[in-house]
Amino acid sequence: MESNNGQNGDAPVIAIDGVTKTYQMGEVAVHALRGVSLAIHSGEYVAIIGASGSGKSTLMNIIGLLDRPTSGTYAIRGQEVGQLGKSEQADIRNREIGFVFQRFNLLPRTSAQAQVELPLFYAGITGTKARRRAVDALTRVGLGERIDHRPDQLSGGQQQRVAIARALVTQPSLLLADEPTGALDSKTTAEILDLFDELHAQGLTLVVVTHEHSVAERAGRVITVSDGAIVGDALAAQPTPAVTATNGFGSVLPTLSPARTAVAQ
C-alpha cells in the first residue's frame, strides 16, 4: 500500500500496512494475520466479513487498539499508533474510536443519559456540557424521549441504540461495530442497520465486523478475510451514498476518497 503524504488532514482514518499477528500456543505459532494492508477513508462505510477463525476479530482488535500487531504499521489519521504504550493507546482509543458490541454492555441500574455520559467522564468532560452532549447523542439515535430509562425499561433494539449513542458521544473519527446485530431479531436488526445508514449519510466513518452477508451487504465496501489474509475488497453493488457534510455534531468532514484495494501479502 502506498504511504500517505504525511498530512493528517489528507491521511486515511485507518492505514494498516503489512500487519501480522502471531500468537504462541506452547510450541506452536498461530498466525492470526498474515501481512494485511488496507486503508479506510473518512466517510466510508466498510464491512469486514469472514468465518469464525478467519482473523477478522483479530483485525478488529488491532483496529480498535485492543491488541497490537506483531509486525507492520498501523496509523490513525496519519499518526502511528500500533506500538504506542498502553496509556497512549487508551487516550487515542477514547478520543478516536467509538465501539459497539454484540452485547450492549450497559450498567443495569443506570439511566440511558448516564450511560452515554460515561465516556465523556473519562475524557474529562463533565457537568452541563456532558449532559447536553449525551442528550444530543441519544436524540440522534431516536431515544430523546427515553433519556431517563434504565436498560430493563428498554427493548433490545433500544439498548443497542443507547450503546451506539455512547459510542458517538465523544465525536470519534471511527465507529467500530463488532457483530452489532448478533443479539437482535430480524426486525430489530433491520432498524439498527437503517440507523447505520442514517449515520453514514451524515458523514460518519463506520466499520462493521460481521459473519452475516445480509449485514455486510448494507455497507458501501466489503472486505473479506480468510486464513488471516484479505481475500476480497470490493465496493458493494449499490453502496449507501455518503454525504460529506458534517459528523452530526457540526464538524465538517473531509471529502470521501475512493476506496483503495487492500493488499493481502
Contact 60, 206 (CB under 8 A): no
Q: How many CB atoms lie within 10 A of CB 13?
A: 23
Burial of 57 (0-12, 13-18, 19+ CB in 10 A): buried
Contact 100, 134 (CB under 8 A): no
Residue reference for cell 499477528: 21
Return the domain boundaries, the chain.
14-264
DSSP string for residues in 88-106: HHHHHHHHHEEEE-SS---
| Closest-CA residue to 171 (of 210, 144, 199, 143) | 199
Q: What is the pLDDT of residues 6-60, one digit of tens each?
A: 334 578 999 999 999 999 999 999 999 999 999 999 999 999 999 999 999 999 9
pLDDT of residue 237: 66
For residue 256 the three cell numbers come to 470521501
Cα–Cα distances in angstroms (integers) from residue 25 to residues 21, 29, 47, 135, 166, in the given order? 13, 6, 30, 46, 36
Q: What is the pLDDT of residues 192-203, one digit of tens each?
A: 999 999 999 999
Compute, in degrees rounded to 10, the torsion defined by CA atoms 248, 259, 97, 145.
Answer: 30
pLDDT of residue 102: 84
The three-state secondary structure class of 165 is: helix
For residue 174 the three cell numbers come to 471511527
For residue 9 the three cell numbers come to 488532514
Residue reference for cell 425499561: 153
Strands 97-100 and 79-80: unpaired
Global confidence as pTM: 0.81
pLDDT of residue 11: 82
Tell me the CATH class for 14-264.
alpha beta
Q: Which residues of the chain are modeled with pLDDT < 50?
A: 1-8, 239-265
